[in-house]
A and B are shown apart, each in its own frame.
Chain A
Amino acid sequence: MSQAVLLVVAQTMVLLALSPFIVGLIRKVKARLQCRRGASVFQPYADLAKLFKKQPVVSTTTSWIFTATPYILFASTLAAGLLVPVFVSQTPLNFAGNIIALVYLLALGTFFLMLAGLDAGSAFGGMGSSREAIVASLTEPAAILSIFAIALTTGSTNLSTIVHKTALLQGIDTAPSPHLMALAALFIVTIAETGRVPVDNPATHLELTMIHEAMILEYSGRYLALVEWASGIRLLVFLTLIVNVFAPWGIATTLTPVAFGVGLGVYILKVAGMAVLIGVIESMFAKLRLFRVTDLLGVAFILALLGVLFFYILRG
């Protein structure tokens, strides 16, 4: 029991501590590719520290929804992160929820963020919420179906079970393997759900092209710090999902200090690699027009569906 609590606390700490680094790393990669030196990869930590100290300005038109949303968003995103195995394959909270729970926990945060976007009464916030609605509604079926395709090979939809079995290569059924299609689908989902180029541009300054940034336009001070931190964690959770479901090797499958150390080191390397990949993609592609995004998300859905069909049909 005490071991389980320690593991949960450790996982919380890793998610909290690592997420700003990933955000900083992506920015650094983008800067280097644009032939800039860019800010330090640790800049997001300084940003958060500064935002926490700043006096927040809250619109007089808002209700308690606006001030409660950062806390709800932060809690739901972190809770979702605790359902995913990070550097230990057997998370103590595995029993608390499977992939559906993960998706719906993240949706809880999205729901309140959409409300907060509308709360200030500015047209920009409403626009962001409205766009988030369409993007979210097209990504979530693809997310659920792609993990389901993987679940078919392991006989479980609980993430920790999937990762543990895949890491040990025990009790899984990979002939045929739907992994590649599911990976492609989940990668597109990750791009869309975390608001990266080509779906949304996190670095944009132009309100009319914003999605996520438009919803949080009115936030400042400690509220903005929590929202930014939460979106960093959200990004990290999706990257963790990809690296640990599709390439779990190196993760600690036993509960020994050595395995923990190796698991943590390998994990950081893997998500850093993913962050570099995201940075490269962001530099190579232009943002898509909103109504072209739906085609991309449609592709993700079809890929995930094909993964499932492929698995069943080839097995007969």
Chain B
Amino acid sequence: MSTLLLALLACYVGGSVLPPCLRGHPTLQNLLAHSLACAAGLFGIALGVAGLVASEPLTASVSSTIPYLSFAIRLDPLAAFFVLTISLVGLACAIYALGYVTEFYGRASIGALGSLFNGFLLAMTLVVLADNGFFFLIVWEIMSLLSYFLVVTEHEKAEVRYAGFFYLVMTHVGTAFIILTFLLLFRETGSFSFDVFRHPEAPLPPGLRTVAFVAALIGFGTKAGIVPLHVWLPYAHPAAPSHISALLSGVMIKTAIYALVRVYFDLLGGEFPWWWGFLVLGIGAVSALLGVMYALMEHDLKSLLAYHSVENIGIILLGIGAGMVFQTYGLKEFAALGLLAGLYHTINHALFKALLFLGAGSLLYATHTRDMEEHGGLLRRMPWTGLFFLIGAVSISALPPSNGFVSEWLVFQSLFLSFQLPDLFLKLMLPIAAAMLALTGVLALACFAKAFGISFLALPRSAHARHAEEAPVSMRVGMAFLAVACIVLGVAPMVVVPLLDRVVAPLARVSIEGKVLAMDGWAVAPVNVEFSSLSPPVLAFLLAALSLLGLGLVAAFGGLAKTRFYKTWGCGINLTPRMEYTATGFVQPIKRVFSAIYQPTVKLETELLEESRYFAKRQRFESRIEPVFQKYLYDPVVAFFIAAADRLRIIQAGSLHLYLTYIFVVLVLLLLITI
């Protein structure tokens, strides 16, 4: 294992350092950076699997001269699972990037892009491996900074700079809270080592644990994109090049999930009051629902996908939150199930969200626009990209037989099992969360019917779409890899569940492998087989067999009469793209039904002819939804800081002498205070 780890580190470090040395040869830089990333990805997959099946965690440590800091790493099953997730997506994105970054030749430095790509993957891998709080904070910060640089790759565009700045501010607010968490633990234990946090000499006082819990939730929640801390995410993730967006949405936000599980279940000992779990669960439910609702209103394909990340983080937190609630009441097996469901959804979301972002990247590559209203008819022009995007869409909509379905099903079961809880309030609340999840699921389905239907089906809506061509081979290979992974994880939970059980068992202190897998692994069941069961392979087989039955019926009853192809009936006139349903029109009923949330405003300006007020010369229609969180939560805070800065400007005269005086006065004051 340690050889694999060293090989992985060597490849990523090589990929970060070497490409800039080949200045002026973008093709070579591209090849070098991304093939090293591919190699690292393969090593990472092997390392992840090895770490999951190993009996003892792999640990290594290099001490430093800085007090309290040691570069300690520990590959336990939880870390191994996340290394596997990062490496799977990293590998696919690296293959994809070989073709995709050709788009940036001459526009951006390929050396910088390639080396940042490798550095970013390395930083994420180290985040999940770190076993020392100080070291963790350093790699966390490196990860945030490198991702910022990647987001602003196309910094010549004003909106990209805005997105980058917004991201930079938010991520540092989050980091401040994370630092607070670790400082609190440090103050109590006198060390930054995770091992000391795990086994403190004296139990941590409850007040401190509560503050650490809340600070970690805010800090990591900002990175994960929980509502209401999600506002930066739909700006920053789409602004980056698409293979980077796939990494940001697919894996980077998962490092926050990793950290939450690590802190709550491992470092804080996995014992909490009921309201911790309830809070996580509630945030999960709200994030899931609001995430998908805002996604529905987006017509920029990549922003739509970014909002879906908010939704899916919510679903993951529903599983983890349910697990925490069960943990409180000592229902260890159910706690393990909730955690397992959340982690299953974590890897699933990583795979299908990366796939969808890569698909969106291919559309961008082919049509040079992210606006769905300018796509259309692309399935006939880009059949492979279309097929892969469809697989991703089916997975994220949690439809059988995809991977999203299995994990969402498990989340549902862990919420339904709430009837075993002793507390009436929670018994009532968890089914409501399940109902919110059901609504989320169907709205996601509607959203992807829109995304796929408007972008890929019917007639092309613009010249861009008419002239689109299929993406290059490497991009298709990258997507195919993820699409196959989505299907495999969907029909073969008997492979995934035992591995996940190894992750969950040490955290929930009970192994549920034998109880989640029923019928020799052919079915999954939530602890209690009597309560419910699901057999994804049988469902997949049924779907295939019954489709064949449909074909058989057609052959038996009618023979296969030759199809006649003719244009669509357009009420007597030829169909043009302008007659097609638009993305805006598609979601109009939803916008109207949920107007309490969207608060839509419509502006119609009509300029009339002077001769007659019955004829309009020009009409302007504008429709938008209220960005509630930004308006009521963020704008006041920003306004406060700008106003405060305005006041403080009086003392900033720009004179060096004045500043020296300030320093002197402060020094004297400090001295007086210490005396």
CA distance A151 to B590 in the complex (A): 30
Q: Are A129 and B581 in contact (CB under 8 A)?
A: yes
Instruction: Give the dominant DSSP class at B's interface.
Output: helix
B434: which of A65, A107, A148, A309 is its contact (CB, 8 Å)?
A148
Nearest CB on B from A305, distance (A): 7
* Contact B435 A301, beta carbon cutoff 8 Å: yes
- Per-residue CB contact flags for chain A residues 155-170 toward chain B (1 = under 8 Å, else 0) read 1111001000000000
Scoring B residues 103 to 120 as 1 if CB is less than 8 Å from chain A, else 0, what string do you get? 000000000000000000
B559 — which chain A residues lie within 8 A by C-beta?
Answer: 53
B535: CB under 8 A from chain A?
yes
Closest to B582 in A: A126
Known contacts: A105-B400, A129-B453, A137-B443. The answer to whether A98 contacts B534 by CB under 8 A is yes
Q: B425 CB to closest chain A CB, in angstroms? A: 10
Q: Is B637 an interface residue (CB 8 A)?
A: no
**Stretch in B208-216, B298-306, B550-558 touching the partner:** B550-558
Task: Kindly state the separation between the CA atoms of A157 and B395 in the bound complex, as whole angstroms.
Answer: 23
Residues of B within 8 A of A156 (CB): 530-532
Q: Which residues of B contact A114 (CB under 8 A)?
A: 446, 449, 453
* A118: interface (CB < 8 Å): yes
Bound Cα distance A48, B436 (Å): 39
User: Of A54, A121, A127, A138, which contacts B458 at CB under 8 A?
Assistant: A121
The answer to whether the Cβ of B204 comes within 8 Å of any Cβ in the partner chain is no
Q: Is the C-beta of B668 less than 8 angstroms from some C-beta in chain A?
A: no
Given contacts A125-B581, A129-B449, contact A119 B457 (CB under 8 A): yes
* CB-defined contacts of B592 to chain A, threshold 8 Å: 291
Contact of B568 among A130, A131, A218 (CB under 8 A): A218
Contact of A79 among B435, B450, B543, B561 (CB under 8 A): B543
Contact flags (1/0) for B554-576 with A, using CB distance below 8 Å?
Answer: 10011111111111111000010
A108 engages B456 (CB within 8 Å): no
Q: Is B348 an interface residue (CB 8 A)?
A: no
Contact residues of A between 259 and 316, Cβ < 8 Å to B: 290-291, 294, 301, 305, 308-309, 312-313, 316
Say whether A144 contacts B435, CB under 8 Å. Answer: yes
A122/B439 contact (C-beta < 8 A), A60-B567, A97-B539, A309-B428 known: no
A137 to B397, CA, bound (A): 12
Contact of B567 with A59 in the complex, beta carbons under 8 Å: yes
The yes or no answer to B207 lying at the interface (CB within 8 A) is no
How many of chain A's residues have a CB under 8 angstroms from any CB in B?
90
Do A120 and B458 touch across chains, with their CB atoms under 8 A apart?
A: yes
**Residue of A at shortest CB range from B522?**
A95
Inside 8 A of A226's CB, which chain B residues have their CB? 550, 553-554
- Contacts A52-B558, A156-B532 given; indicate if A58 touches B565 (C-beta within 8 A): yes
For B546, what are the chain A residues with a Cβ–Cβ distance below 8 Å? Answer: 74-76, 78-79
Main secondary structure of the interface of A (DSSP, over half): helix
Tell me, in angstroms, the Cα distance from A67 to B519 when the chains sit together.
36
| Residue B496 CB within 8 A of the other chain | no
Does B602 belong to the interface (CB within 8 Å)? no
Contacts of A158 in B (CB 8 A): 531-533
Partner of A294, one of B518, B538, B593: B593
Q: Is the CB of A71 within 8 A of B547?
A: yes
B452 contacts A by Cβ under 8 Å: yes
Q: Digit string of B428-470 for contact with A (CB within 8 Å is 1, else 0)?
A: 1001101110110111011011101110111100000000000
* Cα(A94)–Cα(B535), bound, Å: 10
Question: Which B residues touch A107, using CB under 8 A?
Answer: 397, 399, 441-442, 445
Give A12 to B542 CA distance when docked, in angstroms: 11
Whether A108 and B457, one on each chain, are in contact in the complex, defined by CB atoms closer than 8 angstroms, is no
Interface centre among A101, A117, A225, A226 (most CB of B within 10 A): A101
Contact yes or no, B530 A161, CB < 8 A: yes
Q: How far is the CB of A292 from chain B (nearest CB, A)?
A: 11
Q: Are A58 and B564 closer than 8 Å at their CB atoms?
A: yes
In the docked arrangement, what's the CA distance between A97 and B588, Å?
A: 34
A63 on interface, CB distance cutoff 8 Å: yes
Residues of chain A with a CB closer than 8 A to B446's CB = 114, 133-134, 136-137
Q: Jot down 5 A-B pairs with beta carbons below 8 A, ordered by A.
A: A54-B558, A55-B564, A58-B566, A127-B585, A225-B554
Spell out B's residues near A (CB within 8 Å): 377, 379-380, 386, 390, 394, 397-400, 405, 409, 412-413, 416, 419, 424, 427-428, 431-432, 434-436, 438-439, 441-443, 445-446, 448-450, 452-454, 456-459, 518-519, 522-523, 530-535, 538-539, 542-547, 549-551, 553-554, 557-570, 575, 577, 579-581, 585-590, 592-593
**Hey, which bits of chain A sit against chain B, CB under 8 A?**
12, 48-49, 51-65, 67, 70-72, 74-76, 78-79, 82, 93-98, 100-101, 103-105, 107-108, 110-111, 114-115, 117-123, 125-127, 129-131, 133-134, 136-138, 140-141, 144-145, 148, 151-152, 155-158, 161, 218, 221-222, 225-226, 290-291, 294, 301, 305, 308-309, 312-313, 316
